[in-house]
Structure 1
Amino acid sequence: MRWMIALLALTGSAMAQDVPFDPAVPEQCEANGPELAEREACIGQGANLCMDRMEGGHSTMGMNGCLDAELQYWDGRLNAHYREAMARAKAFDADMATAQNGLLSSEETLREMQWAWITYRDAKCDFVRSQWSGGTGQGPAMLSCLMVETGRQALWLQVQAVNM
C-alpha cells in the first residue's frame, strides 16, 4: 500500500501529458515468441518505445508516464488471466470432487498464491525503490519493477489458465 501512495505522487504530473504507449508493441513481440521466456522478454518494450517517441520521454516524468502506461496494460492482462485461471480452477475442483475427496482446492490455492505473490511483488519493488535513497530515480525504478513483475505474473497466469 505504501508504494501506491508514492506511485500516485510520482506519476500525477506525467499523466497530464499525452503518453504514446502502444499496446500493440508487446502484443506483436509476444506473437514472435511461443515460449514463456521469449514472451517475458517483451515486457518493457512498449514503455521503452514510448519514452523514445515522447518529447521529454527520458525525463523522470516521461519515464514515469510510459512505465505506468505499460504497467496498467499488464495489470489489465493479469486480472483477465487470473479470472480465466480461477474459472478453470473452480471447474477442475468440481470435476475432481475436491472437497469430497479431501484434496487441495485449486481455487483456494490459486487465490492464496496470488495474494502471496502481491505481497512478494510489493516488497521486492519497495526494496528496489529503497536503493534510490529518495532520489528522482525511485519513481521509474519502482514502476519498472512493478511493470516487470506484473507482466511476468500475467504471462504465467495465462499459461496456467490454458493448462488447467
Structure 2
Amino acid sequence: MILLTALAVPASPAMAQGLNYSDEATEACLAQVDEGDDPRSCIGRSADLCMETSEGGYSTVGMGGCLDRERAYWDGVLNARYGDMRARAADFDAAGGPGGTETALRDMQRAWIDFRDATCAFEASQWGGGTGAGPAALSCLMRMTGEQALYLDTAWSED
C-alpha cells in the first residue's frame, strides 16, 4: 500500500523486538461486548497496552510499531470477513438472488480503500511532515480498518 509505505515510521529491528504487543487486549474486549454495546471501543486496546508496557512505547518508533501491529491484526480480521462475505454474495447471486451482489461488495470495498487512504493521508498531513505523521497515519489505518471489519459483521441483511 502506497500510503502505509510513505507515511509509516519503520521500526528498527531492535525496537521491533522490544515491543510488548499481543492481540489479547483487543480480543478480550471484543469477547466482552454486550448486546447494544459498541465494539468499536475495542479498536486500539492492544496498541494502547503495547505503548504503555513497552520500553520506548511512546516514542515515535514505538507508537508506530504498536499501532502497526494492531493494524495488521484488524487487516487479517477484515480480509477473513471480506472473503466470507464475498463467498456468501457469490452463492446468493448463483442461487437466484437479484444478481450483482458480489460485484457491488467488491466495488464497495475498493471505494472504501480509497476513502480510507485519503482520510489517513489527510490526518497525517496535519502534522506538517513532522514525526507525528507516521503514528497519525497508522492510528487512522488501524481505526478505519477495525471499523470496516466490524461493519462487515453486520452488513448483510438477514431479510
- C-alpha RMSD of matched pairs (Å): 2.0
TM-score, normalization: structure 2? 0.90
Q: Distance in 2 between matches of 1:154 and 1:36?
A: 18
Are 2:137 and 1:142 aligned?
A: yes
Q: Distance in 1 between matches of 2:129 and 2:115?
A: 21
Contact 2:44 2:142 in 1 (8 A): yes
* Residues 83 and 36 of structure 1: CA distance in aligned 2, closer, same or farther (over 3 Å): farther
Q: Distance in 1 between matches of 2:56 and 2:157?
A: 40
Give the letter aligned to residue 138 of structure 1: A
- Correspondent of 2:120 among 119, 122, 125: 125
Q: Distance in 2 between matches of 1:86 and 1:36?
A: 26
TM-score, normalization: structure 1? 0.88
Contact 2:26 2:46 in 1 (8 A): yes
- Give secondary structure in 1 for the equivalent of 2:18: coil
CA deviation map 1:13-65 (0-9, x unaligned): 27633322211111110111145762111000110000001000000010000
For residues 63-74 of structure 1, the aligned pairs below 5 Å read 63-74=63-74
The Cα of 1:11 is off from its aligned counterpart by 2.0
- Correspondent of 2:146 among 148, 151, 154: 151
Q: Distance in 2 between matches of 1:28 and 1:104?
A: 38
Q: Relative to total residues, which structure has the larger helix share, 1 or 2?
A: 1
Q: Distance in 2 between matches of 1:36 and 1:118?
A: 28
Contact 1:57 1:63 in 2 (8 A): yes
Are 2:43 and 1:58 aligned?
A: no
Q: Distance in 1 between matches of 2:36 and 2:66?
A: 24
Aligned residues: 158
Contact 1:85 1:160 in 2 (8 A): no
Higher mean displacement: 120-129 or 13-22: 13-22
* Residues 35 and 162 of structure 1: CA distance in aligned 2, closer, same or farther (over 3 Å): farther
Aligned to 1:79: 79
The Cα of 1:163 is off from its aligned counterpart by 4.7
The Cα of 1:4 is off from its aligned counterpart by 2.6
Are 2:38 and 1:38 aligned?
A: yes
Higher mean displacement: 13-22 or 108-117: 13-22
CA deviation map 1:105-164 (0-9, x unaligned): 110000000000000000000000000000110011000000000000011112336958
- Give secondary structure in 2 for the equivalent of 1:41: helix
Contact 1:129 1:142 in 2 (8 A): yes
Aligned residues with identical type, % of pairs: 49
